[in-house]
Amino acid sequence: KNQVEQSPQSLIILEGKNCTLQCNYTVSPFSNLRWYKQDTGRGPVSLTIMTFSENTKSNGRYTATLDADTKQSSLHITASQLSDSASYICVVSEGSKQKLVFGTGTRLLVSP
């Protein structure tokens, strides 16, 4: 069964600190992996997208990594800001049908 699992479920960090969120997937065949940021009550907004051949992608203070062999991805947030408080969702696109499989997200709270 195609699944995307994220950890931790929730996380609290102090403003200015770094953190890393994890994503493991069993989706096959693999097409690409996206990280989205979802503010409370809003729709997801794309942060990064990586294909099979890419193992790192940055977007400002956000850096995503992908290990297609172990089917793992991480999202590293550097020098966190209060505005980073949100849910971060890992989404894997299943290759044959181009169907998106969503993780349940990691809820990040950045505390002053």
Partner 1 sequence: DSGVTQTPKHLITATGQRVTLRCSPRSGDLSVYWYQQSLDQGLQFLIQYYNGEERAKGNILERFSAQQFPDLHSELNLSSLELGDSALYFCASSVEGTGDNYGYTFGSGTRLTVV
- Selected from 42, 56, 67, 82, the binder of partner 1 by CB under 8 A is 42
- Selected from 89, 92, 108, 110, the binder of partner 1 by CB under 8 A is 89
Alpha-carbon distance of 77 to 64, in angstroms, equals 9
**Residue 73 contacts partner 1 per CB under 8 A:** no
Task: Read off the tokens for 25.
Answer: 């997937």
Residue whose token pair is 């995307």: 4
Amino acid (1-letter code) at residue 70: T
Q: Which residues here bind partner 1, judged by CB under 8 A?
A: 4, 31-32, 41-46, 49, 89, 93, 97-100, 102-105
